[in-house]
Amino acid sequence: MQVTSSVRQPLVTGGKTYHDVTHDISRQVEGKPSLLWFLAFLTAAGVLALGAIALVATLWEGIGMWGLNKTVGWAWDITNFVWWVGIGHAGTLISAVLLLFRQKWRTSINRAAEAMTIFAVICAAQFPIIHMGRPWLGAYWALPLPNTFGSLWVNFNSPLLWDVFAISTYFSVSLVFWYIGLIPDFATIRDRATGLRKTIYGALSFGWDGAAKTWMRYESVSLILAGLATPLVLSVHTIVSFDFATSVIPGWHTTIFPPYFVAGAIFSGFAMVLTLMIITRKVFKLEDYITIGHIELMNIVIIITGSIVGIAYITEFFIAWYSGVEAEQYAFINRATGPYWWAYWSMMTCNVISPQLFWFKKIRTSIVATFLLSLVVNIGMWFERFVIIVTSLHRDYLPSSWAMFYPTWADVGVYLFTFGLFFSLFFLFAKFFPVINMAEVKSVLKSSSEKVVK
Amino acid sequence: MKENKKTYWKGLEQLSNDPEFVKHADREFPELPSNLSEEGNASRRDFLKLMGFSLAAASLAACETPVRKAIPYVNKPVDINPSIPNYYASTFASGGDYAAVVVKTREGRPIKIDGNELSPINKGKVNAIVEASVLSLYDKQRLAGPMIAGEKSDWKTVDEQVKSKLASAGTVKVVTNTILSPSTEKAIQEMGAAFGGVEVITYDPISNYGIVKANETYYGQGVIPSYHFDKAKTIVSFGADFLGTWISPIEFAGAYAKTRKISKEKPEMSRHYQFESNMSMTGANADYRTPIKASQSGLAVLALYNAIASKAGAATVSAPKVEIANIDKAANDLWAAKGASLVVSGSNDPNVQVVINAINELLGNNGSTIDFTTPVHFRKGNDARMNQFIGELKGGQVGAVIFYNCNPVYDHPRGAEVAEGIAKAKVSVATNGTMDETSSLVQIVAPDHHFLESWNDFEPKFGHYSLSQPTISPLFDTRQAQDSFLTWGGSSSNYYDFLRMNWESSVFTQVETGGEFQEFWDKALYNGVISANKITAALAPVGDVSAAASEVAKAYKADNAGAELVIYTKVGIGNGTFANNPWLQEMPDPITKATWDNYLTVSQSWAVENGVTMVEENTRKAQITVNGKSLIVPILVQPGQAKGTFGLALGYGRTKAGRVADGVGVNAYDLLEASKGFVNFDITSGVEIAVTADTYKIARTQTHQTFMGRENVIQEATLADYKQDASAGRYKPEIYKDGEFVKPSKISLWKGHQYSQHHWGLAIDMNSCIGCGACTVACQVENNVAVVGKQEVLNRREMAWIRIDRYYSSDAAADDLTGLEMASENPEVTFQPMMCQQCNNAPCETVCPVAATTHSSEGLNQMTYNRCIGTRYCANNCPYKVRRFNWFKYHDNKDFAGVNIAQNDDLGKMVLNPDVTVRVRGVMEKCSMCVQRIQAGKLTAKREKRKVQDGEINVACAVACPTDALVFGDMNDPNSKVSQLLKIEENSTSALKEVAEERAYHVLEEINVSPNVWYFTKIRNKEKNEA
Size of interface A-B (CB pairs under 8 A): 175
Would an 8 Å CB–CB cutoff place B853 in contact with chain A?
no
A246 touches chain B (CB under 8 A): yes
Q: Which domains does chain B have, with CATH numbers?
A: 12-63 (no CATH), 220-376 (3.40.228.10), 561-697 (2.40.40.20), 716-1026 (3.30.70.20)
**What residues of chain B, 488 to 507, have a C-beta less than 8 Å from chain A?**
none
Inter-chain CB proximity B871 and A68 less than 8 Å = no
What was the pLDDT predicted at B192?
Answer: 86
Q: How many helices (H) and strands (E) does chain B have?
A: 31, 39
CA proximity to B14, closest of B26, B1, B32, B31: B26
String of DSSP letters for B517-578: HHHHHHHHHHHSEEE-S---------S-HHHHHHHHHHH--S---SEEEEEE-BTTTBTTTT
Q: What DSSP line would sit under B34-95, residue for residue? A: S-TTTSS---HHHHHHHHHHHHHHHHHHHHSPPP-PPPPPSS--TT-BTTB-EEEEEEEEET
pTM: 0.89
Residues in chain B with CB shorter than 8 Å from the CB of A333 are 817
**Is A446 an interface residue toward B (CB < 8 Å)?**
no
Q: Does B246 touch chain A (CB under 8 A)?
A: no
pLDDT at A94: 77
Report the helix count and the strand count for chain A, using DSSP H and E.
Answer: 20, 0
Q: Which positions ≥6 away from A373 have C-beta within 8 Å?
A: A271, A302, A354, A355, A357, A358, A363
Which stretches of chain B score pLDDT less than 50?
Answer: 36-37, 1027
- Cα–Cα distance for residue pair B399/B425, rounded to 1 Å: 5
Q: Could you give the residue ranges of the DSSP H alpha helices within B111-224?
A: 128-137, 155-167, 182-194, 209-219
Q: Per residue of chain A (454 residues), what is the pLDDT tens digit?
A: 455 566 667 777 777 777 887 888 788 788 888 888 899 899 999 999 999 999 999 999 999 999 999 999 999 999 999 999 988 887 788 777 777 777 777 777 888 888 888 999 999 999 999 999 999 998 888 888 888 877 788 999 999 999 999 999 999 998 998 899 899 989 988 988 888 888 999 999 898 988 999 999 998 998 888 888 888 888 888 999 999 999 999 999 988 999 989 899 888 888 988 898 888 888 877 787 888 888 888 899 899 999 999 999 999 999 999 988 888 999 999 999 989 999 999 999 999 999 999 999 999 889 899 999 999 999 999 999 999 999 999 999 999 999 999 999 999 999 999 999 999 999 999 888 888 888 888 877 776 666 654 4
Predicted confidence at residue A438, as pLDDT, reads: 83
CATH number of the structural domain A19-446: 1.20.1630.10
Shortest Cα distance from A242 to chain B (angstroms)? Answer: 11
Instruction: With beta carbons less than 8 A apart as the criterion, state whether A121 and A88 touch.
Output: yes
Closest CA to B602 of B570, B652, B568, B643: B643
C-alpha count within 13 angstroms, C-beta hemisphere, residue A21: 25
Pairwise CA distance, residues B262 & B768, whole Å? 9
Given this model, what pLDDT does residue A450 score? 62
DSSP letter at A389 equals I
Q: Do B869 and A132 touch (CB under 8 A)?
A: yes
Cβ-contact B919, B886 below 8 angstroms: yes
For residue A245, give how far its alpha carbon lies from the nearest alpha carbon of chain B (Å).
11
Smallest CA–CA distance from B851 into chain A, residue: A155
Distances in Å between the Cα of B128 and the Cα atoms of B117, B282, B788, B912, B957 are: 17, 16, 18, 17, 11
Please identify among residues 131-160 of chain B the ones whose CB lies closer than 8 Å to any CB of chain A.
none
Please check whether residue A30 touches B, CB under 8 A: no
Cβ of residue B692 closer than 8 Å to a chain A Cβ: no
Which residue of B796, B807, B851 is in closest CB contact with A69?
B796
d(C-alpha A117, C-alpha A96), whole Å: 12
Residue A399, chain B, CB below 8 Å: the answer is yes
CB contact under 8 A, B876 and A133: no
Torsion sign across C-alpha atoms A422, A427, A432, A433: positive
Domain boundaries, chain A: 19-446
Residue B550 and residue A214: Cα distance in Å, rounded?
A: 113
Question: What confidence score (pLDDT) does residue A1 get?
Answer: 43
Is A432 at the interface with chain B, CB within 8 A? no
Interface of A with B in 346-375 (CB under 8 A): none
A133 closest CB neighbour out of B713, B877, B921: B921
Q: What is the pLDDT of residue A442?
A: 81
What letter represents residue B412's amino acid? H
Q: Which residues contact B227 (CB under 8 A, 6 or more apart)?
A: B242, B247, B252, B255, B342, B344, B369, B370, B371
ipTM (interface predicted TM)? 0.92
